[in-house]
Each structure stands twice: as structure tokens, then as C-alpha cells.
Amino acid sequence: MNFLNDGLGGYLTLFLAGFLATEVWRWLGLAVGSRLDVAGAPFQWVRAVATALVAGLVTRIVLFPAGALAAVALPVRVGAFAGGVALYLLARRNLAAGVGGGAALLIGAQLLLQ
């Protein structure tokens, strides 16, 4: 799976597709400042697109994983993930409880199944 070379070319790819593609929005935000109506409809749409994309990424990582996560059965992955969300809500929206709890559930379930 060596898709990125270790030399300058690899870092140039990361610089362009990673750093620049991200940082340009921060620069733009600094440049336009409060002249922009961030509560307006265009921004709501853009925000919805970015939100759906990240939610889609999450689903894809859980349902179609690569590497070590692929060694875990689908019901265990989905169960541990849903358990993490439930723990987050039960712990009054505590992120640490959700993230740590989900990981612990996955380990616990795998150990029980073996």
C-alpha cells in the first residue's frame, strides 16, 4: 500500500492536497472577516454539505474498514460504535466517555468472543 513516496514528491502531495486545501479557508476567513454573513443560507448549505461528508466518512470507516478494524466482525464494530454514542449521551454529552467507552466496548467484546 505504498501510494506515497518518502521523498520530496510525497511531501509536495501532502502540502498541496492537505495543507493548502485546508489552510486556504482559514486565510479567506481572516481576509473577509465579519463582512461575511455566516448565518446566511449559502453558509448553511455549505455547512450541511461538509457535515454530511464527514458523517459519510464515519459510516464508511465503520462499515468498510481497512487494516486492523477489518479483523473485527461487523456486528461488533457497529455495536461498539453505537455503544460509544449511547455512553456519550448517558454521560451528559461527555466526549471522553463516548470515545473511550466505545473503544473499551470493542476490546471487551473481542475478548469475550475469543
Q: Please state the φ and ψ torsions of residue 5, each to the nearest 5 degrees.
A: -75, 160
Q: Where are the alpha helices (DSSP H) in 3-70?
A: 8-13, 21-32, 41-63
Stretch 16-35 residues interacting with other proteins (CB under 8 A): 16-30, 32-34
CA distance linking residue 45 with residue 53, whole number of Å: 12
CB of 75 to other proteins, least distance (A): 14
Stretch 41-60 residues interacting with other proteins (CB under 8 A): 41, 43-60
Nearer to other proteins, 49 or 75 (CB): 49
Indicate whether 3 belongs to the interface with other proteins (CB under 8 A): yes
In the chain, the N- to C-terminal Cα span, in Å, equals: 29
Total residues interacting with other proteins, rule: CB under 8 A: 80
